[in-house]
């Protein structure tokens, strides 16, 4: 089993450990894609080892506007990606009601506006009951799901019209509270394949208007918590150090 490295584990990493395979817990910055992080870490490792190729992959995409826990599997640990992807995820963020966007978040501009619903405790309780447990969820067109070998978001950005098939998801420990007159803050735990942007859209529809996600942080992947994760700069510094770590 590969070592899982967090800021609580070690400041150093040997070349032997890299080659044997490790799992890195990184706090993805806003504006970076998951592949930006993978490419940066892969470049640093290749430079340190003096090799042209080295396997690095992530265990679950985070959207560019999202922050939080991103698990990277390095070297032989890439064989563990599927098992990491199957773990539960934790998220927190903010949903704004009264408007929709094609991507269900701030990546695209508002396309429709509606009357802002009353975010009363009664409505909040109704949303929690409806969206806790197992149900069918339709993923957003602006997603990394592949359609005929192409990412769905690429087709969506071209203006192509299509719908992705609903899939079973499960949401646990859903908590909602007022954040502003038109916003609810949330925290939750969910299964693999759950789209929080779709949850925002569906909550808006449930209240008879529209909604979109304006802030998202992945707070946990399995047992890894946000506070355990490396900042990207600290992870790079750790990978560049020549000190050895016993494998």
- pTM, whole model, 2 decimals? 0.89
Are residues 128 and 181 located together in one domain of the fold? yes
Are residues 61 and 108 located together in one domain of the fold? no
Catalytic residues: 63
Are residues 213 and 99 located together in one domain of the fold? yes
Residue 131 maps to which CATH number? 3.30.2350.10
Are residues 108 and 211 located together in one domain of the fold? yes
Are residues 184 and 109 located together in one domain of the fold? yes
Banded model confidence at residue 138, pLDDT cuts 50, 70, 90:
confident
Range of the domain at 233: 3-86+223-240
Looking at the domain assignment, is residue 195 inside a domain? yes
Rounded average pLDDT over 72-78 = 93
Give me the DSSP letters along the chain. --EEE-TTT-S---HHHHHH-EEEEEEEPTT--HHHHHHHHHHHHHHHHT-S---EEESS---TT-EEEEEEEEGGGGGGHHHHHTS-EEEEEEEEESEE-TTSSTTS---EE-PPPP--HHHHHHHHHHTSEEEEEPPPSSSS-EETTEEHHHHHHTT----PPPEEEEEEEEEEEEEETTEEEEEEEE-TT--HHHHHHHHHHHTTS-EEEEEEEEEEETTEEGGGPEEHHHHHHHHH-------
Are residues 126 and 207 located together in one domain of the fold? yes
Residue 1 pLDDT: 47
Are residues 13 and 126 located together in one domain of the fold? no
Looking at the domain assignment, is residue 232 inside a domain? yes
pLDDT tens for each residue of 80-131: 999 999 999 999 999 999 999 999 999 999 999 999 999 999 999 999 999 9
Banded model confidence at residue 180, pLDDT cuts 50, 70, 90:
very high
> Which range, of 181-185, 207-211, 242-246, averages the lowest pLDDT?
242-246
Are residues 215 and 133 located together in one domain of the fold? yes
Are residues 193 and 114 located together in one domain of the fold? yes
């Amino acid at each position: 089993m590969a070592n899982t490295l967090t800021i609580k584990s070690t400041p150093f990493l040997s070349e032997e450990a890299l080659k044997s395979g490790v799992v890195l817990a990184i706090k993805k910055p806003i504006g970076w894609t998951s592949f930006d992080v993978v490419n940066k870490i892969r470049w640093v490792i290749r430079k340190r080892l003096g090799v042209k190729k080295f396997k690095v992959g992530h265990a679950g995409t985070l959207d560019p506007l999202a922050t939080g826990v991103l698990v990277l599997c390095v070297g032989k640990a890439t064989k563990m990606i599927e098992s990491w992807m199957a773990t539960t995820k934790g998220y927190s963020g903010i949903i704004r009601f009264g408007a929709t966007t094609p991507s269900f978040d701030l990546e695209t501009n508002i396309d429709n506006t509606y009357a802002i619903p009353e975010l009363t405790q009664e409505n909040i309780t109704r949303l929690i009951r409806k969206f806790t447990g197992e149900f069918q969820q339709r993923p957003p067109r602006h997603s990394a799901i592949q359609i005929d070998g192409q990412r769905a978001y690429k087709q969506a950005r071209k203006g192509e019209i299509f719908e992705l098939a609903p899939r079973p998801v499960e949401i646990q420990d859903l908590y909602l509270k007022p954040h502003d007159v038109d916003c609810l803050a949330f925290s939750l735990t969910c299964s693999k394949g759950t789209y929080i942007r779709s949850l925002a859209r569906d909550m808006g529809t449930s209240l008879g208007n529209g909604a979109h996600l304006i802030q998202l942080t992945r707070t946990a992947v399995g047992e890894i918590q946000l506070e355990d994760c490396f900042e990207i700069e600290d992870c790079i510094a750790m990978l560049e150090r020549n000190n050895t770590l016993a494998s």
